[in-house]
Amino acid sequence: MYPEQFEYQRPSSVSEAIGLLTANPDAKIIAGGHSLLPAMKMRLAAPAALVDIARIPELKGISASGDGATIGAGATYRELMDDAALAAAYPVVAETCDKVGDPAVRSRGTLGGSLAHVDPAADLTAVMLALGASVTATGPNGARTIGIDDLFVGLLTTTLEPDEIITSISLPASSAGTKQAYEKHSHPASGYAVAGVAVALQVDGTTCTSARIGVTGAPEYAMRATAAEDALVGKELTAETIAAAAEKATEGLGELNGDVYASAEYRAHLVKVLTRRALTRAAL
């Protein structure tokens, strides 16, 4: 299907892009276009204008070290995979990007687009929850920081204002070098996550001192598995502790998604299995 008619605008700076969004409430940002264009073709979205931010230099660039990382919102999955410093400090990012879609999706899709879109089956939403990321959102009134725990609030819904652009994503020093892993059950047709679980653990000796677990695919939108996190902190990381924590991974996630491919019950099972696998691979 063809999308509705729309205007196409290509600003060269963030401030110009914000001006275009403010001037036209029916305009929408397009970055990689790999979520928005399919929605437009299915007539689920019909913006009057597309403001293309893909070539804005301010939105590019990745700087990473053991002291944290700052990633331009326009960084593609491919660019995230290819950054050696990011991979050294936050290996779960590249590991996850490698499991996203196909080469075309990875070459065009962006981190900012994935976080702004909050597809319930996206991968990096769960990873950013596990790593404790924050986003910088820039709008007509300037820039503000939104912690990842406060960004996702519903199906395809964030706390961003319509004329705000995610300009960068920051990863804290506290999650650099943590024990990290992402486990995913991919949909056989689309590659999207039927369920996916990202973990980041801080360990002192063999004792878990901090745990963050992000779950995607199964809940309405990516959420933290806080009951499982609580079951780990202060405990020795053994196979038994991990199994007990994984059993709690669906607590607090609300009603789980179900469809012809995977029922809510099956997704609940997957979340527990994937949590156990991710924790085991990260910790043992």
236-270 core/surface letters (b: 16 or more CB in 10 A; e: else): ebeeebbeebbebbbeebeebbeeeebeeebbbeb
Stretch that binds ligand FAD, among 85-93, 121-129, 172-180, 263-271 (CB under 6 A): 121-129
Alpha carbon 71 to chain centroid, angstroms = 13
Contact 9, 27 (CB under 8 A): yes
Tell me how many residues contact ligand FAD (CB under 6 A): 31
Binding letters toward ligand FAD, positions 179-218, x by CB under 6 A = -----------xxx--------------------------
Q: Report 27-66 residues binding ligand FAD (CB under 6 A).
A: 28-36, 38
Residue reference for tokens 């204008």: 49
Nearer to ligand FAD, 35 or 134 (CB): 35
Stretch that binds ligand FAD, among 83-91, 101-109, 223-231, 248-256 (CB under 6 A): 101-109
Q: Smallest Cα–Cα separation from 116: which of 222, 8, 3, 247?
A: 222
Binding letters toward ligand FAD, positions 213-252, x by CB under 6 A = ----------------------------------------
Q: Euclidean distance between the first and final Cα of the chain, in Å?
A: 49
Q: Left (φ > 0), alpha (ψ -120 to 50) or beta: where does 110 sit?
A: beta
Contact 225, 252 (CB under 8 A): yes
Nearer to ligand FAD, 36 or 213 (CB): 36
Would you count residue 75 as binding ligand FAD (CB under 6 A)? no
Catalog residues that contact ligand FAD under the rule CB under 6 A: 28-36, 38, 73, 100-101, 105, 109-110, 112-114, 116-117, 119, 122-124, 160, 165-166, 190-192
